Amino acid sequence: MVRRSYIGDMMIFRAQQDIPADTELKFGYISGLEELDERQSKLKNYGFDCDCQVCEAEKNTSAKKMKRRMAISGEIVDIFEKGESNSLQTYTKLLDQMEATYVNLPSVEYRRAMITPLTNLITGCLTSGLPLQVIELVHRLLLALGFEIKVTKSSFRVLQWGFLIDEIVVSLVDLCDAYADVNPRLLADAEGVAKKCYLIMCGEDITWEEAYGRDKKKNGTRSGMGMTERTEDLVEGVEGLKFV
Ligand SMILES: [Zn+2]
């Protein structure tokens, strides 16, 4: 997956890996978080039917599985919005059931429907002071996006990069905050990965310190500029939820 930007009439592509000559590059015209039919209808304006691996995988998923996935998605939003449950276990169980509706590997089809629930939970756990759960959930988000990671007591490494979505930088910064609390030895590695994602997505990392640097955070002036703020997708009230 590549990101695209412009300087005047020059188009710039950035990728997270070396690309052999003559490779066809595919990039997102729209946010990857919409439903398949919504995405396809938006893409009609561009005059093509998207046949990227994610759309193809969804088209090949049975109606029964899609229906089940949507039902679970609705159920999660419902209990978030009503504040019905502050039990992480309840949400995790629903996420497991949702994950079971995917038939392809996450490296082929990222778990689109799991992203918003996961980022909501990460925020909730962060504000509830549960760094271990934040770590677990950010790891799960990375796996859902097709990343392969290797975590030991003293290192955090990405073995295979996955799909890059805007929310990933904020979640990796949350991971850094949690590691700073629980295992500071992993902080430098995690921050390196977060910064690399930022570089791929923004095209520069000169503003990294300004946006997400840890010094800035200490002074309470971290701005997160240039990136989509997590709060856009937050279900109302989730920041007030105290998870147990
Ligand atoms: Zn597509």
Backbone angles phi, psi at 101, to 5 degrees: -85, -5
Residue 135, SS3 per DSSP: helix
CB atoms < 10 A from the CB of 33, how many? 15
Task: Tell me the average pLDDT across 206-226.
Answer: 70
- Which pLDDT does position 218 carry in this prediction? 61
Tell me the pLDDT band of 236, cut-offs 50, 70 and 90: low
Tell me the pLDDT band of 80, cut-offs 50, 70 and 90: confident
Question: Residue 67: what residue type?
Answer: K
> Is the pLDDT assigned to residue 237 strictly greater than 70?
no
CA of 213 to the centre of ligand 1 (A): 34
Nearest C-alpha neighbor of 88 from the set 122, 135, 111, 127? 122
CA of 26 to the centre of ligand 1 (A): 9
CA of 199 to the centre of ligand 1 (A): 24
Tell me the pLDDT band of 221, cut-offs 50, 70 and 90: low
Give the CATH superfamily of 32-240: Tetratricopeptide repeat domain (1.25.40.10)
CB 36 within 8 A of CB 60: no
CA of 22 to the centre of ligand 1 (A): 20
Task: Tell me the average pLDDT across 105-130.
Answer: 90
> Is the pLDDT assigned to residue 88 strictly greater than 90?
no
CB atoms < 10 A from the CB of 145, how many? 23
> Is the pLDDT assigned to residue 241 strictly greater than 80?
no
- Gap between the Cα atoms of 196 and 194, Å rounded: 5
- How many helices and strands (H and E) does the chain possess? 10, 4
CA of 55 to the centre of ligand 1 (A): 4
> Is the pLDDT assigned to residue 29 strictly greater than 70?
yes
- Gap between the Cα atoms of 42 and 49, Å rounded: 10
Give tens-digit pLDDT for 5-27: 788 888 888 776 788 999 888 77
Nearest C-alpha neighbor of 122 from the set 193, 176, 192? 176
Question: Residue 13: enclosing H or E segment and its boundaries?
Answer: strand 10-15
CA of 37 to the centre of ligand 1 (A): 10
Rounded percentage of the chain residues whose pLDDT exceeds 70: 86
CA of 6 to the centre of ligand 1 (A): 22
Domain chopping of the chain, boundaries: 32-240
Tell me the pLDDT band of 102, cut-offs 50, 70 and 90: very high
Task: Tell me the average pLDDT across 30-53.
Answer: 82
Residue 29, SS3 per DSSP: coil
- Gap between the Cα atoms of 231 and 101, Å rounded: 27
CA of 43 to the centre of ligand 1 (A): 9
Give tens-digit pLDDT for 119-168: 989 988 988 889 999 999 999 999 999 999 999 999 999 999 888 888 89
- Gap between the Cα atoms of 173 and 166, Å rounded: 12
CA of 211 to the centre of ligand 1 (A): 30
Nearest C-alpha neighbor of 163 from the set 121, 188, 197, 190? 197
Q: For tokens 């390196």, name the residue.
A: 192
- Which pLDDT does position 223 carry in this prediction? 52
Region of 152 please: left (phi>0), alpha (psi -120 to 50) or beta: beta
Residues 16, 43, 61, 90, Cα dihedral to 10°: 70
Cα separations in angstroms, 118 against 43, 122, 135, 238: 27, 6, 12, 12
CB 3 within 8 A of CB 29: no
